[in-house]
Amino acid sequence: MSSNNSFTERFLEIWEAGKQYIELQKRYTRLEVIEKLSVLLSTLLLVLIISTLGIMFLFYLSFTLAYILEPVVGGLMGSFGIVSILVLTIIAFILLLRKQLIANPIVKFISGLFSDAESTEK
């Protein structure tokens, strides 16, 4: 009967250890998710800030270019037209290469962010 008692005690110890392990794994997973989301959100915020400042920079740069071209073209209307065509060409270029310039780097960043945890666990 003592061996049966010993078996029950060991089973209960293993059961408690298993419950504790599952609880620790839940905490670890929660921390991993928080870490990945904070990196993702901080990167998103950084991209948003840089994009906003970049758009402002390009706005003022286009005005500067238009005023520089005014004496060459002979008027502000022509120089603003040239700058507008230049900006439209850049937009078309970005749209044509959006997969290589935008989509692929984002997918690579996010997959690297979430697969990094899997490679360190192994």
Are 21 and 87 spatial neighbours (Cβ–Cβ below 8 Å)? no
Whether 120 shows a pLDDT value over 80: the answer reads no
pLDDT value, residue 6: 86
Number of domains in the chain: 1
pLDDT value, residue 58: 93
Q: What is the pLDDT of residues 39-90, one digit of tens each?
A: 899 999 999 999 999 999 999 999 999 999 999 999 999 999 999 999 999 9
Burial class of 81 by CB neighbour count within 10 A (0 to 12, 13 to 18, 19+): middle
Structural domain boundaries, residue 36: 2-121
Alpha carbon distances (Å) from 11 to 8, 54, 95: 5, 64, 63
